[in-house]
């Protein structure tokens, strides 16, 4: 079952820690947003393999709810 | 000093513009791409675009700021708080450009910006300091365990170059010590370019009480009483009040005198704040740091004293004599409290919530009510800068009166389009323990079931 990891908040992408094909475990940090001077890490909801990464480091003005990473 | 450039944005830029204009000065705002339509731009007499939305390329861009000053013929620079307010390099560049720097000298900013140096200056001025260790530069942790035993557990590993809760980690016992110190060094090296750390005793039930000081640059300094800023989330202040509730008079006096002594010993110039950590049970107090800027929460001090601290900063910088501002001349009347309205979602661990203020309605600033904000309905709170939407400040003859006013102001505040902490603030202000003045830095965590449910 595919898990879509959506952005929790609008903001800017600071660090992307995974690429397609990476194996991840539940709780691993996938990427970190920078929002209002705060780091907002996003974690994998389940074990699996990253099948899509729709964001890149330095991207600005992203919207909440955008599907950033897909894990299969 | 007839034209003042404000090297900042948001509510503090608006606040400085107000006092500058009242003194008859012209004002220059600066703005990034994200702030073209902002209130501070509309409030100033002139405005200059200084770069893209990212702060590093605009509000932190010293060359762009100095170019804006030169282009407009500004004669002075007020830095506000945050951004470059405590950057000695910026202060020096402003002075070298032949402009008046509205703030302490670069040497004073430098001395207090280095926490270990600030501690030793405080100690030399007879100000009590928290038990702490020597500094450990990156990769050099020899003697760490022995130093920790001397400081005592629980303790904090602190980055020398950090601040505002950033670069600070709690260690309960020796087992986690080395790992935490190494992690803090790595983080500090990455974030601040300086991995130096030190250890400091941690006080479990602590209050954050700070003294507003004002120095005249000639060895004379006054204190402007204390503010209690114990209600914090993620080491950041949410509610501040003055005077500090339940603090014994003898302790208040001792703290204020110690802070003024430190400022005087440095020949400190302008507004500053000496922060203390106070043991909530024993009322022992220890020096934390000195902030060499105007603080976010300065309005509560203005409410109880009737002083305009920004105006005093500007008048001192302009070379006006403030000899009449003696310690005995500063009154203390009533009680004031400030709530910071943040764009954040308390239910989701205070997750930031940028977005458009579809609706933003505040009650009228009637007697005893002051509202400082840099945004209007329809404006956007962007992800680029801090999440503060407004400061709601209430003043009353007593604490109870100030709290009642605050409850009414919070009730009358409506924000739509983004999440805010307004309901959370209502619950804190109405909370029985808060009403009794039982504040401490762990308050929000201790009562989260009441405040966040």
Domains of chain B: 3-102 (3.40.50.20), 131-201 (3.30.1490.20), 206-452 (3.30.470.20)
A12 neighbourhood in chain B, CB within 8 Å = 383-384
Residue pointed to by tokens 């407004």: B390
Query: In terms of residues, how long is chain B?
Result: 453
| Sequence-ordered strand ranges (E) for chain A | 3-6, 12-16, 23-24, 29-35, 38-43, 48-53, 67-71
**pLDDT (tens digit, 9 = 90+) per residue, B106-144?**
999 999 999 889 999 999 999 999 888 999 999 899 999
| CB-based contact, B52 to chain A, within 8 Å | no
Q: What is the mean pLDDT of chain B?
A: 95
Contact B352 A61 (CB under 8 A): no
pLDDT of residue B164: 59
- A35 contacts in chain B (CB < 8 Å): 352, 354, 383
Cβ contacts of B440 within 8 Å, gap of 6 or more: B205, B206, B207, B230, B280, B446
The C-alpha angle B312, B314, B317, rounded to 5 degrees, equals: 105
Annotation marks residue B293 as catalytic: yes
What per-residue confidence (pLDDT) applies to A13?
95
Q: Which two tokens stand for residue B298?
A: 């300065």
Q: Provide, rounded to the nearest whole percent, the portion of chain B with pLDDT above 90.
A: 90
pLDDT value for B28: 98
Q: What is the pLDDT of residues B340-367, one digit of tens each?
A: 999 999 999 899 999 999 999 999 889 9
Mean pLDDT of B79-86: 96
Percent of chain B with pLDDT over 70: 99
pLDDT tens sequence across A15-54: 999 999 999 999 999 999 999 888 899 999 999 999 999 9
Nearest to A36 among B53, B348, B385 (CB): B385
Interface test with A, best of B51, B56, B348, B354 (most A CBs within 10 A): B354
Output the CA–CA distances (angstroms, integers) from residue A19 to A10, B33, B327, in the order listed. 22, 32, 63
Token reading at B93: 């560049």
Closest residue, chain B, to A61 (C-alpha): B383
Which residue in the set B54, B348, B383 is minimally distant from A35, CB to CB?
A: B383
3-state secondary structure of B341: strand
Chain A residue numbers touching B355 (CB-CB < 8 A)? 10
Q: B185-219 in b/e burial notation, b at 16+ Cβ within 10 A? A: bebbbeebebbbbbbbbbbeebbbbbbbbbbbbee
Chain B residue with minimal CA distance to A12? B383
pLDDT at B209 over 90: yes
> Residue B244 carries which DSSP code?
P
**Integer Cα distance of B394 and A53 in angstroms:** 48
pLDDT surpasses 80 at B151: yes
Please state the rounded mean pLDDT for residues B42-47: 98
Q: Of A48, A47, A66, which Cα lies nearest the Cα of A56?
A: A66
Q: Which residues of A touch B383 (CB under 8 A)?
A: 9-12, 34-36, 60-61
Name the pLDDT band for B165 (thresholds 50, 70, 90). low
* pLDDT score at B100: 98
Task: Kindly state the average pLDDT of the residues B431-452.
Answer: 96
Q: What is the mean pLDDT of residues B158-183?
A: 87
Domains of chain A (ranges plus CATH)? 3-71 (2.40.50.100)
Q: What is the pLDDT of residues B234-279, one digit of tens each?
A: 878 999 999 999 999 999 999 999 999 999 999 999 999 999 999 9
Decide: pTM greater than 0.90. Answer: no
Contact B159, B188 (CB under 8 A): yes
How far is residue A31's CA from residue A43's CA, in Å, rounded to a whole number?
Answer: 7
């Amino acid at each position: 079952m595919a898990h879509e990891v959506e952005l929790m908040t609008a903001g800017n992408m600071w660090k992307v820690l995974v690429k397609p094909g990476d194996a991840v475990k539940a709780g691993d940090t996938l990427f970190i947003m920078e929002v209002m001077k705060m780091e907002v890490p996003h974690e994998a909801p389940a074990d699996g393999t990253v099948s899509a990464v729709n964001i890149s480091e330095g991207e600005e003005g992203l919207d909440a709810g955008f599907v950033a990473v897909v894990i299969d | 000093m007839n034209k003042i450039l404000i090297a900042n944005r948001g509510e503090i830029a608006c606040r400085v513009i107000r006092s500058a204009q009242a003194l008859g000065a012209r004002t220059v705002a600066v703005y990034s791409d994200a702030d073209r339509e902002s209130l501070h731009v509309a409030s100033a007499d002139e405005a200059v675009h200084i770069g893209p939305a990212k702060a590093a390329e605009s509000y932190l861009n010293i060359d762009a700021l100095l170019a804006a000053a030169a282009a407009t013929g500004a004669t002075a620079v007020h830095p506000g708080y945050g951004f470059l307010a405590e950057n000695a390099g910026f202060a020096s560049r402003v002075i070298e450009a032949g402009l008046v720097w509205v703030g302490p000298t670069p040497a004073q900013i430098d001395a207090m910006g280095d926490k270990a140096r600030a501690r030793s200056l405080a100690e030399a001025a007879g100000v009590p300091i928290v038990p702490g260790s020597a500094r450990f530069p990156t990769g050099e942790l020899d003697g760490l365990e022995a130093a920790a035993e001397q400081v005592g557990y629980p303790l904090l590993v602190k980055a020398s170059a950090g601040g505002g809760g950033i670069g600070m980690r709690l260690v309960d016992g020796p087992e986690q010590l080395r790992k935490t110190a190494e992690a803090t060094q790595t983080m500090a090296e990455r974030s601040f370019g300086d991995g130096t750390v030190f250890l400091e005793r941690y006080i479990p039930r602590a209050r954050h009480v700070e003294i507003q000081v004002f120095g005249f640059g000639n060895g004379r300094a006054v204190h402007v009483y204390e503010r209690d800023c114990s209600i914090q989330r993620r080491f950041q202040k949410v509610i501040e009040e003055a005077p500090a509730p339940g603090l014994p008079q003898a302790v208040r006096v001792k703290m204020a005198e110690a802070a003024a002594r430190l400022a005087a010993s440095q020949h400190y110039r302008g507004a500053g704040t000496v922060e203390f950590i106070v043991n909530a049970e024993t009322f022992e107090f220890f020096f934390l740091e000195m902030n060499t800027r105007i603080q976010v929460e300065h309005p509560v001090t203005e409410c109880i004293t009737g002083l305009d601290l920004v105006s005093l900063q500007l008048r001192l910088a302009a070379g006006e004599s403030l000899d009449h501002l003696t310690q005995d001349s500063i009154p203390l009347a009533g009680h004031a409290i400030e709530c910071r309205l943040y764009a954040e979602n308390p239910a989701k661990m205070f997750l930031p919530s940028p977005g458009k203020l579809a609706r933003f309605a505040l009650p009228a600033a009637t007697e005893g009510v002051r509202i400082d904000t840099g945004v209007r309905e329809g404006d956007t709170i962007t992800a680029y800068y801090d999440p503060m939407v407004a400061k709601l400040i209430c003043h009353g003859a007593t604490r109870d009166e100030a709290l009642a006013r605050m409850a009414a102001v919070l009730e009358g505040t409506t924000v739509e389009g983004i999440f805010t902490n307004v309901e959370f603030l209502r619950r804190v202000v109405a909370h029985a323990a808060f009403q009794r003045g039982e504040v401490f830095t762990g308050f929000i965590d201790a009562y989260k079931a009441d405040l966040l449910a």
